[in-house]
């Protein structure tokens, strides 16, 4: 989950927009003012979005914690402790599960977490003040050099650009479209050339008002690289290529990075029990492993066996990769829900056979 949203939005796991609610994880949209049936239950629009998040991604707490130390700033021990506190465990139960020698150690951990909370609030306030000050002083990014080349989007992306000023109207695009857009933007930069931050900003601000978001996305998705000080930027490229080869490479990159999604299985090799789940991006399975390793998975029976038998006793296997050609006109969330039900019906991973819970009517 991206950390670029306001705190209250991150806690919910979805954003509220004029006509719909939008999942922060996969981009699934739920139209406002509609009652959604799920089995024999009718959900209001916002509750259906919560149902989607719970069903498809797990709890928002688990999603935020699965980002690891890089996103949370927490050690493995602190993450485990926070998961157990969230699960409602008493200090005595936490002491037993984490094999901590004394109760005072747990109290010290709790104190450290509260201290981190206060530090995080202080840092958030400081950063907000810095942003406000910058908004007062700087209206547009500094431009080190004139722009050498204007951006013309491909036909596939043209509808996302304004006819008035030619700039991108929104970055709420599908993953494939985002990859294609960033690959096309990369063609405005020259291979092997080193750019200052001002030069990068000068190019990106002509494409999208939130040029900092574009710059961050290009770095996160492996299109641009920058040094530790943030003063030098360059294209990420493989080997010694000329501009034509680089153009081909970027187009291939956009196609290759389309996220695959579908149904997966966690199998306990010790007792044969399985857990069936769905994911909008198979890359998130690394976060699932982290949850289990840190004791944060909401399925208590699966978590207990993982802790007892160790991760080497479990195998994660992909059962089905969704082919969108067979599901035209159907949203990703609906596809995952239908296919998950199909696999649950086929494998019956309940009771002695598995860790899934039978849905209550």
What's the burial of 21, exposed, middle or buried (CB within 10 Å: 0-12/13-18/19+)? buried
pLDDT digits (tens, 9 = 90+) for 13-29: 888 776 778 888 887 88
Task: Give me the phi and psi of 79, to 5 degrees please.
Answer: -65, -45
Is this model's pTM higher than 0.85 or not?
no
Who's near 268: CB < 8 A, 6+ residues apart?
A: 274, 305, 309, 313, 314
Residue 245 placed within a domain: yes
Domain presence at residue 26: yes
Do residues 49 and 76 share a domain? no
Residue 113 maps to a domain: yes
Is 104 a member of any domain? Answer: yes
Statement to judge: residues 76 and 45 lie in one domain: no
Judge if 252 and 266 occupy the same domain: no
Residue 309, pLDDT > 70, answer: yes
Same domain, 236 and 281: no
pLDDT-derived band at 132 (thresholds 50, 70, 90) equals low
Q: What is 131-196 written as a DSSP string?
A: HHHHHHH-SS---SS---------TTTGGGB-TTT--B------HHHHHHHHHHHHTTS-TT--B-
Domain extent for 112: 72-139
Tell me the pLDDT tens digit for each residue of 30-88.
888 878 877 777 888 888 888 888 888 888 888 888 877 877 888 888 888 888 888 88
Work out the mean pLDDT of the chain and round it to a whole number: 81
**What's the angle, vertex CA 21, arms to CA 20 and CA 22, rounded to 5?**
115
Same domain, 163 and 252: yes
Is residue 153 domain-resident? no
Q: What is the pLDDT of residues 95-120, one digit of tens each?
A: 888 888 788 888 888 888 888 888 88
Residues 283 and 324 in one domain: yes
Contact 320, 302 (CB under 8 A): no
pLDDT over 70 for what percent of the chain?
Answer: 84
d(CA 81, CA 98): 8
**Domains held by the chain: number:** 4
Taking alpha carbons only, the member of 106, 26, 6, 3 closest to residue 281 is 26
Going by their DSSP bridges, the two strands 274-279 and 314-321 should be labelled as unpaired
Shared domain check, 266 and 248: no
């Amino acid at each position: 989950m991206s950390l670029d949203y306001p705190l209250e939005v991150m806690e919910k796991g979805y954003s509220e927009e004029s006509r719909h609610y939008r999942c922060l994880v996969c981009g699934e949209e739920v139209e406002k003012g509609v009652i959604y049936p799920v089995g024999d239950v009718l959900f209001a629009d916002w509750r259906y979005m919560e149902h989607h998040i719970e069903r498809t991604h797990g709890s928002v707490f688990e999603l935020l914690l699965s980002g690891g130390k890089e996103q949370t700033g927490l050690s493995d021990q602190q993450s485990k402790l926070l998961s157990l506190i969230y699960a409602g465990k008493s200090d005595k139960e936490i002491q037993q599960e984490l094999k901590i020698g004394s109760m005072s150690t747990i109290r010290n951990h709790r104190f450290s977490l509260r201290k981190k909370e206060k530090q995080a609030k202080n840092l958030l306030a400081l950063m907000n003040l810095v942003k406000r000050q910058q908004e007062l002083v700087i209206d547009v990014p500094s431009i080190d050099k004139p722009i050498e080349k204007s951006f013309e989007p491909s036909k596939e992306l043209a509808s996302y650009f304004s006819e008035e000023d030619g700039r991108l109207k929104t970055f709420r695009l599908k993953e494939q479209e985002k990859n294609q857009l960033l690959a096309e933007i990369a063609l405005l930069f020259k291979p092997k050339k080193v750019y200052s931050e001002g030069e990068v900003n000068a190019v990106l601000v002509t494409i999208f008002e939130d040029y900092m978001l574009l710059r961050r996305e290009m770095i996160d998705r492996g299109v641009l690289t920058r040094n530790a000080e943030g003063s030098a930027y360059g294209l990420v490229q493989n080997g010694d290529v000329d501009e034509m080869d680089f153009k081909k490479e970027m187009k291939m990159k956009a196609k290759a990075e389309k996220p695959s999604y579908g149904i997966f299985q966690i199998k306990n090799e010790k007792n044969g029990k399985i857990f069936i789940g769905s994911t909008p991006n198979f890359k998130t399975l690394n976060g699932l492993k982290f949850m289990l390793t840190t004791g944060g998975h909401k399925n208590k029976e699966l978590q207990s066996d993982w802790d007892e038998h160790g991760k080497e006793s479990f195998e994660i296997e992909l059962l089905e990769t969704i082919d969108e050609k067979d599901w035209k006109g159907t949203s990703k969330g609906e596809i995952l829900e239908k296919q998950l039900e199909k696999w649950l019906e086929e494998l019956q991973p309940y009771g002695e056979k598995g860790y899934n819970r039978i849905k209550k009517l």
